[in-house]
Structure 1
Amino acid sequence: MDPRIREHAEILADHCTEMEEGDNVVIQMSPEAEDLAVALHEIAGDRGANPVWLTYSDRADRAYMRARADDDNEFETPEHKLSFYEDTDVFIIARGGANATEKGDVPPETTAAHRRAMNPVLKERLSKRWNLTQFPTPAHAQLAGMSTEAYETFVWDAVNKDWDAQHEFQSHMVDIVNDADEIRIVSGEETDLTMSVAGNEAINDWGKNNMPAGEVFTAPVKDSVEGEVYFDMPLYRHGKEIEGVRLRFENGRVESYSAERNEDALGGILDTDDGSRYLGELGIGMNRDIDEFTYNMLFDEKMGDTVHMAVGSAYPDTVGEENEVNESAEHVDMIVDMSEDSRIEADGEVVQRNGKFVFEDGFE
């Protein structure tokens, strides 16, 4: 086994989920990630934890959802799966299948209906100790435009690093956001967005729920977002590439939208439920070991010199007691490149310009 896989597993068990004796552990990943599942089972055995490996198949999910698409898109919450999750202490989930676009021909309205039905299961999982990570597969290497070997190196360089040092670097931005009432994002001529963060909490993401980590994120006050944003980096969503997204916000809500490619998929996301037209997250990418765009949001949203915003659900830990938690079955991140002709303002003061933070050498 590649020793980098063992190191990855140790980070997931120790740093990310703090796996311990007696924990009921769900290891959910595709057959392509068997080596990582094996390493995690070895660690669970050493700790006295109780692991179960749930394999998943995008082909199977596609077959199920396409079959139900002919049945008015009616899905029921799987109570047996919910019960299983209720008895689980730790979830470790790894992306990485044989075909990154396997579900690309599932109708957007079907995907949205399925996510609504699964929302109680998702909420239960999010209440536990959990981590989402990536196993490098040829499919994702191809999506990133890399060789398999280069992609393996890219993934493990982003994962197997000094997370204490990353935490310290990001803590400066956490303090800035927590001290601010209003954040403004400006990029080029098409993005000028303001939002209140008053009373909400900035989180220093150093790998507890995502691996790789490397961002500072918070939630905007639900009805405070105003202005327009152009997401100049594409995203893959259920096998479809959505490009050139433009959103216009009034009183926190997306009132108009467009996309240069797969606008129907974007519309399906925004029409999932009432909460899917509000922002649930503002994130600031700070992991400079992620220096290439790979069409994988788990990595791309952490890139240095970027910000991302997610329509849909907010993480409750980021929302203050006096503010409303936006709830939705969706949480879809989209990215703005902040490396040129861009700035972040906190209460009118520029705290990042063209990718450089105010606390870094070279800030102007």
Structure 2
Amino acid sequence: MESFDYYLDQYAELAIRVGLNVQKDQTVVITTPIACADFVRKLAKKAYEAGAKDVVVDWDDDEVKALRLKHAPEDTLKTYPMWRATGLEEMARDGAAFLSVYAPNSELLKDVAPDRVAMSSKAAATAREGYLQYVRGNKVNWLLVSYPTAEWSAKVFPGLDESERITKLWEQIFTLTRVDQADPVAAWKTHIDTLTAKQQSLNSHKFKQLHFQAPGTDLYIELAPKHQWVAAGSESEKGIFFVPNIPTEEVFTMPARNGTNGTVRSTLPLSYQGSLIDGFSLTFKDGRVVEATAEIGQEVLDNMLNMDEGARYLGEVALVPYDSPISQSGIIYYNTLFDENASCHVALGNAYPFTIEGGTTMTPEELAENGYNKSLIHVDFMIGSPDMEIDGIMADGTRLPVFRKGNWA
């Protein structure tokens, strides 16, 4: 069996060459917790080897962030350093590539008043809106990957000591990202081809609605008139093919802003801004969440929904079979990047312009006319289960089975 260092090196190579697809003379911006420093050094080395002209690292520290949210004067929580926001936007405008290393800690802010977290989150999202338009519109190549930390591994494998649980989490990541295969790049090409075939099949049907049924869920989602299903890879404004999430198992598109009706229940916990929301149900009327209840994290859920008007509407619907490798691992990862690829999911908040035909070149007014939802947030939550039934409904009312018993029909 190969050594850990070998697999970590392969993981970094996959992130830079396949996920981000760094180009010659491109600047690479890495946003990361300081706990991931050893991995970031590997990423930087791989980026330079791929031809990057510069690697800019934006270090973050969860503990310092928590201290600020607990102790800083309330007025300061309503601000965000504009030099950071404008710097990111400037680098995006100049064609940089953006890589985020995500290591969630769902217990981090459990003792912080949720309204203080909401203030800070809204300030950051508002200040970074210009930069986020580059990412959400696929104007730049970007990537999200994860790295096991002591805190995250403790949530996933609470019965093991720190060394054992981090090793076990790494083993899962190497398997689920196909890094442990003989040729990870070839394995990803095959995987992308498989997802692309599903994407093309869904696009050929031009469904008007999807009907989701499962215990606690009876939901109709109208799709945007010009919706297009997207899978795995995307192309940036400069024609760079990249895979924004590693791992990825989803095929997704844009709901029509005002076309969701019914009730949906979450099937996996949601780690949001350092807090946990679990056992929650949402009721929609004409696209808008009109009722929301949670067994855990009700105040956090309410603050998320009240972030802005668009936070109560859907921006994404994604299909993932229950027999996906992540689901079959039988592990709840408390990490949206992994959990969303174990389950069908929807996202509250901002839609992706590239999920409608011609969306990336539309004006804001044209996007709105085509069912686009605008918001400061984009939060995926999981609704899939082995009982999930999904029908695609055509314009004439004809129904076609899309999912049966949690998997592709």
- Regarding TM over 0.5, the answer is yes
Match of 1:192, SS state, is strand
Gap runs ≥5 in structure 1: 359-364
2:24 to 21, 32, 46: 21
Cα drift, residue 177 of structure 1 = 3.0
Show the 5 A alignment for 1:71-220: 71=75, 73-76=77-80, 78-88=82-92, 89-96=96-103, 99-104=105-110, 105-108=112-115, 109-114=118-123, 115-126=125-136, 127-145=139-157, 147-159=165-177, 160=179, 161=184, 162-178=187-203, 179=205, 180-188=207-215, 190-197=216-223, 198-206=225-233, 208-220=243-255
Q: Partner letter of residue 94 of structure 1?
A: V
Contact 1:252 1:279 in 2 (8 A): yes
- Among 271, 283, 303, the residue aligned to 2:318: 283
Decide whether the 8 Å contact of 2:89 with 2:130 is kept in 1: no
Paired amino acid for 2:350: S
* CA positional deviation for 1:266: 0.3
* Mean Cα deviation higher: 155-164 or 273-282: 155-164
The alignment status of 1:300 with 2:300, answered yes or no, reads no
Task: Work out the CA distance in 1 between the residues paired with 2:383 and 2:55.
Answer: 39
Number of equivalences: 353
- Give 3-state SS (helix, strand or coil) of 1:329's partner: coil
Amino acid at match of 2:68: Y
Q: Which amino acid aligns with 1:351?
A: V
When residues 228 and 213 of structure 1 are mapped into structure 2, their CA distance, relative to the original with a 3 A threshold, is same
Q: 1:137 deviation in Å?
A: 2.0
In 2, Cα distance between equivalents of 1:213 and 1:43: 22
Q: What is aligned with 2:237?
A: none
Question: Quick one: structure 1 residues 112 and 96, their matched pair in 2 at CA, closer, same or farther if it must change by over 3 Å?
Answer: closer
Deviation at 1:54, TM superposition (A): 2.0
Equivalent pair of 2:308/2:375 in contact (CA under 8 Å): yes
Q: What is the DSSP-based 3-state SS (H/G/I as helix, E as strand, rest coil) of the residue aligned with 1:163?
A: helix
Q: State the shift of 1:106 in Å.
A: 4.8
Q: Distance in 1 between matches of 2:152 and 2:84?
A: 31
* Match of residue 233 from structure 1: 268
1:336 is aligned to 2:361: no
Task: Provide the rounded CA distance (Å) in 2 between the counterparts of 1:100 and 1:268.
Answer: 16
Q: Secondary structure at the match of 2:374?
A: coil
Greater shift, 202-211 or 71-80, is seen at: 71-80
Evaluate the alpha carbon distance shift between residue 196 and residue 337 of structure 1 in structure 2; reply closer, same or farther with a 3 A threshold.
closer
Q: Do structure 1's residue 345 and structure 2's residue 391 form an aligned pair? A: yes
What SS is found at the alignment partner of 1:224?
strand
Do the aligned residues in 2 keep the contact of 1:75 with 1:113 (CA within 8 Å)?
no
Q: Read off the aligned partner of 2:30 and give its amino acid letter.
A: I
Partner of 2:396: none
Shift in Å at residue 96 of structure 1? 2.3
What RMSD, in angstroms, separates the aligned Cα atoms of the two structures? 2.2
Q: Distance in 2 between matches of 1:64 and 1:135?
A: 24
Task: Note the C-alpha offset of 1:84.
Answer: 4.0
Distance in 1 separating the partners of 2:100 and 2:106: 16
5 Å-filtered alignment, 1:2-13, equals 2-13=5-16
Distance change in 2, residues 1:80/1:167 (3 Å) = closer
1:160-202 residue CA offsets vs partner (Å, 9 max, x unmatched): 25222222322343234322221111112x2111112232111
SS of 1:236 mapped into structure 2: strand
1:221 deviates by 0.7
Q: 1:319 to 1:63 in 2, by over 3 A?
A: farther
Query: TM-score by structure 1 length?
Result: 0.90
TM-score normalised per structure 2: 0.80
The superposition leaves residues 16-37 of structure 1 with CA deviations (integer Å, 9 ceiling, x where unpaired) of: 1211221111122122222221
Q: Greater helix share, 1 or 2? A: 2
2:370 to 306, 316, 323: 323
